[in-house]
Structure 1
Amino acid sequence: MKTSLLFLIGTLATGLPHAALAAPASCEQAQTTVQMEDCRAEDTRNAEKELQRYTQAAIERIRHAGLPPQTLASFQKAMSAWAQYRRAECVAIYDKWSDGTIRGMKAQECLIHLTKTRTHEIWRNWLTFMDNKPSILPEPQEETAKP
């Protein structure tokens, strides 16, 4: 049901777990779809935290780098548009798999992949320099695409 995905996406903002059932002690031991989703939810929250960290660093650089005044507003507009895209894309993935219990996992994979990709874009575009100066934050890991 779309409501479940919207709840999942909403948990990114609140940090609340998306399921009432506890994850197994080790995610490698997860056997049910709910347990797997709980494990993947932690990955989703971690990706979102990392995105927020890199976004804040980019905003600080924009504010203090002597860039044109409209740069911050443009960056924030881009982030808002990207968040709308991520939501729409992952809802579409959820809908694609709506006949199966795997839909939640597929939606979480979508969220993680797009979030990690955006984090890397922010690092590349806003936190690195053209010369040999080290980047403001280390290069984030990109999610490897899964078929």
Structure 2
Amino acid sequence: MKKLWIVSALLISGSIATITQASTIDCSEAYSTLEMNQCAEDKLDAADQQLQHYLKQSIQQNSTDQALVNAIQTAQTRWIQYQKAECSAVYTQWQQGTIRGVMALSCKLALTQQRTLTVWENYLRPMDSSDAVLPKPIVDTE
């Protein structure tokens, strides 16, 4: 029981240190693998939140057409499967190096941003000259 408590305390203190470190990283000057991974995760989290917002809005916008809502949800489920498979392949390509995490996260970021743009183009962009419900998402080209 004492060993379990010690291991738990070490895990908690390590998590707190990681959280503290993450909040102080200047991503424009990230140098270490851990810093680069954290910055890539932060960018991916923001992109994923944006995608979820655009998906939610596209479903609300088309809520009167249940067949379309179902199709959007099916497409999203299959897109998630594709993203996992594709970025897993990228991770495998770089598996011998410490860069593998950043490369897989970069893959996920690029695909997530592209998916957000696709959702906007297909379900949120008006075909006439009226304003879009949400602004056109920006795809990061770095």
What TM-score comes out, normalization by structure 2 length?
Answer: 0.82
Question: Is 1:102 matched with 2:99?
Answer: yes
Q: Which amino acid aligns with 1:35?
A: E
Q: How does 1:127-138 map to 2 (within 5 A)?
A: 127-138=124-135
Q: Distance in 1 between matches of 2:25 and 2:82?
A: 34
Are the counterparts in 2 of residues 117 and 143 from structure 1 also a CA contact under 8 Å? no
SS of residue paired to 1:143: coil
Q: How does 1:1-147 map to 2 (within 5 A)?
A: 20=18, 22-23=21-22, 24-64=24-64, 67=65, 69-144=66-141
Are the counterparts in 1 of residues 62 and 68 from structure 2 also a CA contact under 8 Å? yes
Q: Distance in 2 between matches of 1:49 and 1:78?
A: 18
Q: Distance in 2 between matches of 1:38 and 1:120?
A: 24
Deviations 1:6-32 (A, max 9, x none): xxxxxxxxxxx9x94723431123221
Shift, 1:73, TM fit: 1.0
Identity within the alignment, %: 34
Q: Distance in 2 between matches of 1:104 and 1:29?
A: 18
Q: Distance in 2 between matches of 1:20 and 1:76?
A: 35
SS of residue paired to 1:46: helix
Larger radius of gyration: 2
Q: Distance in 2 between matches of 1:57 and 1:45?
A: 18
The answer for unaligned runs of 5 or more in structure 1 is 1-16
Residue correspondences, number = 125
Q: Distance in 2 between matches of 1:39 and 1:134?
A: 33
Shift, 1:60, TM fit: 0.2
| Structure with more helix by fraction | 2
